[in-house]
Each structure stands twice: as C-alpha cells, then as structure tokens.
Amino acid sequence: MTTTLSTPTFLDRAKKFAPAPRYASLVATLVLLVVFFGIGASRYRNFASGQVVLNLFVDNAFLIVLAVGMTFVILTGGIDLSVGSVVALSTMIAASLAQAGWNPGLIILIVLAVGSGIGLLSGLVIHYFKIQPFIATLAAMFLARGLCYVISLDSIPITDPFFTALARRIVFAPKLSINPSVIIALVIVAVAFVVLHYTRTGRTVYAIGGGEYSGVLMGLPVSRTKVLVYVISGFCSGVAGILFSLYTLSGYGRTGIGLELDAIAAVVIGGTLLSGGSGFVIGSVLGVLLLGIIQTIISFEGTLSSWWTRIVIGALLLVFILLQKVLTLRRR
C-alpha cells in the first residue's frame, strides 16, 4: 500500500526537477540583464555600443573571478568573508615586490600561493575544528587586512614594465578593445564550469551542499573537497588581486573594502542558494554583469549619486531572495 502511494509522489517530485524551475532564477537574471540594457540603450545615446558591453567585462574582471571562487564556497553551504581583504593583500604584495624589483612571474606565483594558503588555513579550521565558516573567514579577513598594513600604510604605485604591459588594452576591432584581464577571467570561468559540471570534484561540491552527511555516507571525499573549496576561493582572490592591481596599477591596503559583499550579492543574484547545493557558475557571472550594468547606468545618468548603486543592489537582492523562496516552496 505504501509503495503504491509513494511511487506517484516520487514521480511528482521528479517532474518538479524538470529544467524549468531549476533554471528559473538564471533566466530571471538574464531577463533583468536584457531589461536593464534596454533601459540604458533607450535613455542614453552612446549606451548601445559594443564597447559599453566590453567595458562591463573590463571593469568587472576581478569581480567575476571573485564570484567564481565564492560560488564554489556557497555551493557547499559555506561563506567566505575574506575575499576582499585577500584582494587588498595581493595588490600590496604585488606592488611592494614589484617595487623591490622582483621577477614578475615569481611575484604572481607568490601572490597565488599566499591567497591559496589563507584559503587553506580557513578551510582546515572550518573542517577540522568545526568552526563556523562565517567566523573562520572573518578571522582570515582581519588577518589579511592587518597584514596589508604591516607591509605598508600607504599606496604603492606599480611601474614594472611587465605589469604595465599587461594592463594595456588590446584593440581588436575599430573602437572595440579589451584587456588581458578579461581573457584571464573568462578562462577561469570556463575552467570552473568544467570542474563543477564534468568532474567528480564538482559533483562532490554539489553533494556537500545538498547534505554533507549523505555525502560522507556515499563515500565521497567530503573532507578534502570541503577544504578545497576554500583553497579555490583563496586562489581566485589571489588572481582577482592581481587583476585588481593591473586595473589600478597600484597596491593599497584600503582597496576592496566590502568587495566580499559584492561577490556574495552577485552569486545570490545569479541564482545560487546560500544554503548550498544549487546554483551555477554562469549565473554568478550574469550576477556580476547585472551589478556592472547598474553601475554603468548610474554613471551615464550623471545626476544620480553613487549611493543609489547600493540601494539598487539591496533591492535586487531582496527580489531574488524572495524569488528563490517562492521557487523552493513550490518545489516542496
């Protein structure tokens, strides 16, 4: 009797896993992106140009990389508050070592190692000492920010020829240009996409978010993967730090304050559940682009002050969180 009853409910549930609700949040972000672009294009004359679109990538390359790392962490149900500070620390290390005349390749390796190392520490503390991700990464945030000021209290300019060459724009068509940062960011997005959707590690990341204990019972390498996501986020913060230092051609301990909030907002707006287990890295990229387009519109408007950006991002967060709530309720 019970089996005949449970079969249809299982089917019902399977039906509800059909693509539509799963991608609904992603589609909503895409629609909003188009709508905002339409608003911009109809209001301002020079808005609907290829360069405006490309600039979305140029200006937000570092944020795209950060959001990719954050997506891994949030998919496991964790959070990483340290990314903004690690970006600042990376710019400081890069700038101070470049000033001391170190080899650029070595500098990049050191920055990536420091970023990954901080992520590794957070991950180990979170997994083996059962400290909440919020607190552990908060400590990492303080540590990285403090270390910035240990290096220097002032801003350090970057004049190294290798870095200035990397910061230059590549013009590939009349009036269309990008910079190497965009290519790096897109490569990282592609790698993250492949890892999340086509490897065992990726599936383990989703499984941890869906239910850590079930993952352990299934024999998945939960411990290793749980620590790994924080290393990935730290590595991405290191990369983002290098991109950020190329973007500003300087290192400064006060950069990137609140960047972690932007990254988290982009991930949430991109449709990833903060409770973990559901979301897409492409969604996070769309989330970053949506934040970018809002900023572009506000700068085109001219009379609107910058604080409207924060209010609009807050409102968008509200809309998407309520949308997710409705979707998950329907799924149940």
Partner 1 sequence: MNAVRSITRSRLFWPVTALAALLIFNVIVTPGFFGITLKDGHLFGSLIDILRNGAPTMLVALGMTLVIATRGIDLSVGAIAAISGAVACTIIGDAPDPGNPGVVAVAIIVAVVLSLILGSWNGLLVAAFGIQPIVATLILMTAGRGIAMLITEGNILTITSPPYKFIGAGFLFGLPFAIIIVAVMVAIAALLTRKTALGLLIESVGINPAASRIAGVRSRGIVWVVYIFSGLCAGIAGLIISSNVTAADANSAGLWIELDAILAVVIGGTSLAGGRYSLTGTIVGAIVIQTLTTTVYTAGIPKEIALVFKAIVVIAVCLLQSPVVQDWMHRRRPTPSSTKAVAS
Nearest CA among 219, 189, 206 for reference residue 284: 189
133/202 with CB nearer partner 1 = 133
Q: How far is the CB of 241 from partner 1 (least distance, A)?
A: 17
143/167 with CB nearer partner 1 = 143
Nearest CA among 272, 320, 208, 322 for reference residue 22: 272
Q: How far is the CB of 169 from partner 1 (least distance, A)?
A: 31
Q: Which DSSP string do the residues of 95-128 spell out, in sequence order?
A: HHHHHTT--HHHHHHHHHHHHHHHHHHHHHHHHH
Q: How far is the CB of 198 from partner 1 (least distance, A)?
A: 29
Distance, C-alpha 71 to centroid of its chain: 6
Contacts to partner 1 by CB under 8 A: 79, 125, 128-132, 134-136, 138-143, 145-150, 153, 253, 261, 264-265, 268, 274-275, 305-311, 313-315, 317-318, 321-322, 325
Tokens of 210: 């869906």
CA atoms in the 13 A half-sphere facing the CB of 215: 22
Q: How far is the CB of 96 from partner 1 (least distance, A)?
A: 15
48/322 with CB nearer partner 1 = 322
31/319 with CB nearer partner 1 = 319
CB atoms within 10 A of CB 258: 9
Measured torsion, CA atoms of residues 154, 158, 159, 162, in degrees rounded to the nearest 10: 160
Q: How far is the CB of 279 from partner 1 (least distance, A)?
A: 13
41/274 with CB nearer partner 1 = 274
Residues in the chain: 332
17/128 with CB nearer partner 1 = 128
Say if CB 76 and CB 87 are below 8 A apart: no
Q: How far is the CB of 151 from partner 1 (least distance, A)?
A: 10
